Amino acid sequence: MPANTEPTIGEIINQITQDARRFAQASLGLAKSELKANAARIQGFTLYGLVCVLLAAQAGVFLLVMLAFVFFALGLPLWASFGIVTALLLIGAALAGLMARSKFLELRRPSVTASEITETVQDLGAAATGPSPAA
């Protein structure tokens, strides 16, 4: 009599568990590598965002008063002097904010990981339902 070479249910479940564990580890490794690739971009937009906030605060303290009084000394009314300086500060803050936004838009979601997970879920769903009957 030939020996039974088919694996037992326990062996099959053990193999599936090992495969799932290896797949999960590989997926996590892929996600980590994709996120590390975005780390430099995250630093870039964070840096420009911080520069935007710091420039707006520092400029508000130092330049607003100084330039307003310079315009006042040149003959403008005090309210107009402060209005001009405030408008200049807002323009500077808007430019720094636009630079931060452009760095933020350079970020990429981990697309390879997402597509692999979606494909695996679809494959597992198809395997769980079994083969479709032939027409």
- Res 54: pLDDT: 92
108: left (phi over 0), alpha (psi -120 to 50) or beta: beta
Convert the pLDDT of each residue in 33-56 to its tens digit.
Answer: 888 878 877 888 888 889 999 988
Q: How far apart, in whole angstroms, are the C-alpha atoms of residue 102 and residue 95?
A: 11
The 8-class DSSP code of residue 132 comes to P
Whole-prediction pTM: 0.41
- Res 119: pLDDT: 81
Q: Please provide the average confidence, as pLDDT, over all residues in the chain.
A: 82
Q: Which two tokens stand for residue 112?
A: 């390879």
Convert the pLDDT of each residue in 71-101 to its tens digit.
Answer: 999 999 999 988 888 898 899 899 999 999 9
- Res 77: pLDDT: 94
- Res 1: pLDDT: 46
- Res 130: pLDDT: 57
